[in-house]
Amino acid sequence: MANISIIGLGAMGQALTARFLQQGHTVTAWNRTPGKAASLVAKGAREVKSAAEAIAASDVTVMCVLDYAASDSVIDDAASALSGRALVNLTNGTPAQARAAAERVAGLGAAYLDGGIMATPPMIGGEHALILYSGSKATFDAHAGALEGLGAANYLGADAGLASLHDLALLSGMYGLFAGFFHATALIDSEGIRAGAFLKLLSPWMTAMMGELPGHAEKIDSGRHGV
């Protein structure tokens, strides 16, 4: 079992913390806004009063906050504690933000692993949870056992921006699917047909169309777009 610190106790941070505790890890937690750790402390987590104290308590810290402005602020506040530690940043952002954070953290003497969570909080630890990682391979390898407890752990490479790039691309595909669904049901609804009834046709049709994607991918990769 590992000693793990968590920074950020929003819905996702709480799910991550609860899962680590469920697996038997020793967890130290900090949230900028007080009052969110009570249920986790009752389950065995230790709450501390600063990000620096949280980072100093463990070899690896998992951070999941609102955005990179928030994570950058945490790094600023805890800069003196980072040397010799590892930071796993699961905050949503862009590849450029991830690369800048990796460079900054490396300059403070710490290892940096970026991540993209392809799951909702209730999915954490379940069979359909996927978390993408990029950055320090040594950090990923050293803590893979704990990270895999959160969901399938997919390491994409040493470039810290790769996880957020794939995160955004996967979300783009999802949003396109949802937009198509909402538009299709709006068309059906205009004639008084219920979305639930229409879904019985749409779902297998969309599943069948997924089989077309490998061919389209081959055309994109080869640059040959003829029919």
This prediction's pTM: 0.94
DSSP 8-class letter at 199 = H
Segments forming the whole domain that contains residue 21: 3-165
In a domain, 206, yes or no: no
pLDDT for the residue numbered 36: 94
Burial of 159 (0-12, 13-18, 19+ CB in 10 A): middle
pLDDT of 179 strictly over 80: yes
Residue 203 lies in a domain: no
| 109, two tokens | 């003497």
Q: Is residue 179 part of a domain?
A: no
Distances (CA, A) of 147 to 23, 74, 116, 144, 151: 11, 21, 12, 5, 7
Q: Specify if 99 maps to a domain.
A: yes
Residue keyed to tokens 């009052």: 35
Domain membership flag for residue 186 = no
Question: How many Cα atoms sit within 13 Å of 152 on the Cβ side?
Answer: 8
187-222: pLDDT as tens digits: 999 999 999 999 999 999 999 999 999 999 999 999
The tens digit of pLDDT for each residue in 109-135 reads 999 999 999 999 999 999 999 999 999
Tell whether 181 is covered by a domain.
no
Cβ–Cβ < 8 Å for 111, 138: yes
**What are 36-84's pLDDT values in tens digits?**
999 999 999 999 999 999 999 999 999 999 999 999 999 999 999 999 9
What pLDDT sits at residue 225? 86
Domain presence at residue 183: no
pLDDT band at 25 (very low <50, low <70, confident <90, very high): very high
Whose CA is closest to 103, among 69, 74, 136, 132?
A: 136
* CATH assignment at residue 119: 3.40.50.720
- pLDDT class for 27, splitting at 50, 70, 90? very high
What pLDDT does 226 receive? 78
Domain count, the chain: 1
215 in a domain, yes or no? Answer: no
